[in-house]
């Protein structure tokens, strides 16, 4: 069981993990590599290198992706593939190593270093926001091991050094466009190559790859990787491809990670979340890849459904079939309905206007990909926005039990101060307050006017105000 789990990791989960760890690139590097007589030694080397990586991660040691260079192994599989056309065993090795070459990407490793230096999971912190004074008494910012003060290290000194370090680390956080560029330069080509090689693997419907004890350097039974497993892997790659297309379609840069950055987002004249020049193509490809993934996943389920008959010995399989017949049907129908949502107009039954009753509304999700929205706040009626400090009174109550019931004893209040985006509509009345794109680029194909839009979402004159406040409830 341990063997199967470890090899599961190696051949499936890593495909996903690598997308976070690792970055490599186009498929013309690697230089001349020898073409071996057979691929067993190459697979043995691959399994060994992957095993080391996995051991490092699972033992909790810090992993440096660049320590594991799969470039020359990729060259071996690729050259074998070119000299032995139609050999799925080499295509499979080339697919796996396409992804693994990402580990030596300089861009990726530089980004990982930045993220590690930023701490806290790498999320950009908001800076330049004055801390309200009450925060200092309410919140514990830093906790130190008790040994440090005991050893004579000053708390304040520690705190100040830490804050200074953090401030330096976040003063130049990576821009979203830099990450997008890395996805375009490194991740997308690697995943495209892996997908292309997996398509070749799938060309041979009978191909089975045996992970032998020799490859793993262990005495154990061989593990059978068959069509169902290849289809699952291919589906996973297409999902990742689809995600990358989505991730690079829009310009989401902000000038800084602070209040000015938030002000930039809400400023309607900046057209934040506009499409990149190739954004429409990226969105179309995102849908195509996702539909391909659904097709592969559906094929995998069919293959698994058939396996108890075609391969009665499931004990040596990577994915062991143990579903009820109804489970297959359910999986097929879930995939069918996702596919339908992405390709055709569907009727959705939900309480869109919040009155407690259900409406029947036509929704065309495919328009989000075929006719993507360009600038998220351009969907709203014209407005001006500003960020300001606002106040709210928070009350605390004490109650006592008088033998029969709880009675209010005393109450205290304090002023809570926080930032908010204040939106002032250009319109002076509810009727003038018009949504310029009521169908949202065709997402709601039957909504043809501002009046219909307001009616669908239950927007009524009695709730309308010229000014609106969006609280920014930051964790300072
Ligand atoms: Ca089997
Ligand atoms: Ca199987
Ligand atoms: Ca309703």
pLDDT of 152 higher than 60? no
Residue finishing a domain among 310, 343, 376: 343
Q: Which of 103, 124, 136 is nearest to 19 (CA)?
A: 103
Identify the nearest ligand to the CA of 351 by its number: 3
151 alpha carbon – ligand 1 mean position (Å): 61
347 alpha carbon – ligand 3 mean position (Å): 15
Number of domains in the chain: 3
Identify the nearest ligand to the CA of 359 by its number: 3
Identify the nearest ligand to the CA of 354 by its number: 3
337 and 236 belong to one structural domain: yes
Rounded to the nearest integer, the mean pLDDT of the chain is: 81
Higher model confidence: residue 6 or residue 337? 337
pLDDT of 17 higher than 60? no
361 alpha carbon – ligand 3 mean position (Å): 11
- Band (118; pLDDT cuts 50, 70, 90): low
135 and 231 belong to one structural domain: no
379 alpha carbon – ligand 3 mean position (Å): 22
Average pLDDT rounded to a whole number, residues 447-451: 97
365, 443 in Cβ contact below 8 A?
Answer: yes
Domain presence at residue 134: yes
Q: Give the structural domain span for 196.
A: 2-113+173-343
434 alpha carbon – ligand 2 mean position (Å): 57
351 alpha carbon – ligand 3 mean position (Å): 4
pLDDT of 389 higher than 60? yes
177 and 164 belong to one structural domain: no
pLDDT of 157 higher than 60? no
217 alpha carbon – ligand 2 mean position (Å): 23
Structure tokens at 365: 């999700």
Q: How far apart are CA 268 and CA 421, in angstroms?
A: 13
Domain presence at residue 147: yes
451 and 358 belong to one structural domain: yes
Residue 172, pLDDT score? 61
Q: How far apart are CA 454 and CA 447, in angstroms?
A: 10
Q: Provide the residues around ligand 1 (an ion) whose CB is within 5 A.
A: 224, 311, 313, 316-317
225 alpha carbon – ligand 2 mean position (Å): 6
Average pLDDT rounded to a whole number, residues 308-334: 90
Average pLDDT rounded to a whole number, residues 12-41: 50
414, 463 in Cβ contact below 8 A?
Answer: no
DSSP for 436-459, written as a single string: S-TTTTTTSTT--SHHHHHHHTT-
Higher model confidence: residue 58 or residue 371? 371
164 alpha carbon – ligand 1 mean position (Å): 58
Identify the nearest ligand to the CA of 322 by its number: 2
Domain presence at residue 387: yes
355 alpha carbon – ligand 3 mean position (Å): 4
């Amino acid at each position: 069981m341990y063997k199967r789990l470890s090899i599961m990791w190696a051949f499936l989960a890593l495909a996903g993990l690598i997308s976070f760890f690792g970055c490599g690139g186009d498929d013309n590097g690697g230089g001349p590599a020898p073409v071996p007589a057979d691929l067993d030694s190459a697979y043995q080397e691959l399994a060994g290198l992957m095993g080391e990586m996995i051991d490092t991660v699972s033992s909790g040691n810090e992993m440096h992706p660049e320590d594991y260079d799969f470039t020359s192994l990729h060259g071996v599989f690729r050259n074998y593939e070119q000299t032995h056309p139609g050999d799925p065993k080499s295509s499979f090795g080339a697919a796996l190593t396409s992804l693994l070459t990402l580990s030596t990407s300089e861009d990726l490793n530089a980004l990982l270093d930045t993220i590690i230096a930023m701490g806290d999971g790498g999320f950009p912190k908001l800076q330049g926001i004055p801390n309200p004074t009450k925060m200092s008494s309410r919140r514990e910012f830093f906790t130190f091991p008790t040994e440090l003060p005991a050893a004579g290290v000053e708390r304040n000194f520690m705190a100040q050094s830490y804050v200074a370090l953090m401030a330096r680390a976040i003063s130049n956080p990576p821009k979203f466009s830099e990450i997008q560029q890395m996805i375009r330069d490194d991740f997308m080509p690697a995943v495209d190559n892996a997908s292309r090689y997996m398509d070749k693997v799938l060309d041979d419907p009978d191909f089975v790859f045996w992970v032998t004890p020799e490859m793993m350097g262990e005495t154990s039974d061989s593990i059978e990787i068959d069509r169902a497993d290849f289809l699952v892997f291919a589906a996973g790659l297409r999902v990742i491809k689809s995600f990358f297309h989505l991730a690079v379609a829009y310009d989401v840069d902000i000038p800084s990670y602070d209040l000015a950055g938030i002000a930039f987002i809400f400023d309607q004249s900046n057209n934040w979340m506009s499409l990149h020049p190739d954004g429409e193509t990226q969105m179309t490809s995102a849908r195509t890849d996702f539909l391909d993934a659904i097709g592969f996943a559906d094929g995998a389920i069919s293959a698994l459904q058939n396996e108890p008959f075609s391969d009665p010995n499931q004990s040596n399989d990577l994915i062991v079939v143990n579903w009820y017949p109804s489970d297959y049907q359910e999986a097929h129908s879930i995939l069918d309905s996702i596919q339908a949502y992405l390709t055709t107009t569907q009727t959705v039954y939900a309480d869109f206007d919040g009155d407690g009753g259900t409406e029947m509304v036509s929704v065309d999700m495919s328009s989000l990909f075929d006719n993507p929205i360009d600038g998220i706040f351009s969907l709203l009626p014209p407005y001006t926005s500003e960020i300001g400090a606002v106040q709210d009174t928070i009350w605390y109550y004490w109650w006592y039990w008088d033998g029969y019931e709880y009675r209010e004893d005393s109450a205290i209040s304090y002023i809570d101060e926080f930032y908010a985006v204040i939106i002032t509509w250009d319109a002076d009345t509810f009727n003038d307050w018009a949504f310029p794109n009521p169908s949202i680029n065709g997402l709601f194909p039957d909504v043809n006017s501002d009046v219909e839009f307001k009616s669908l979402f239950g927007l009524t004159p009695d709730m309308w105000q010229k000014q609106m406040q969006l609280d920014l409830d930051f964790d300072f």
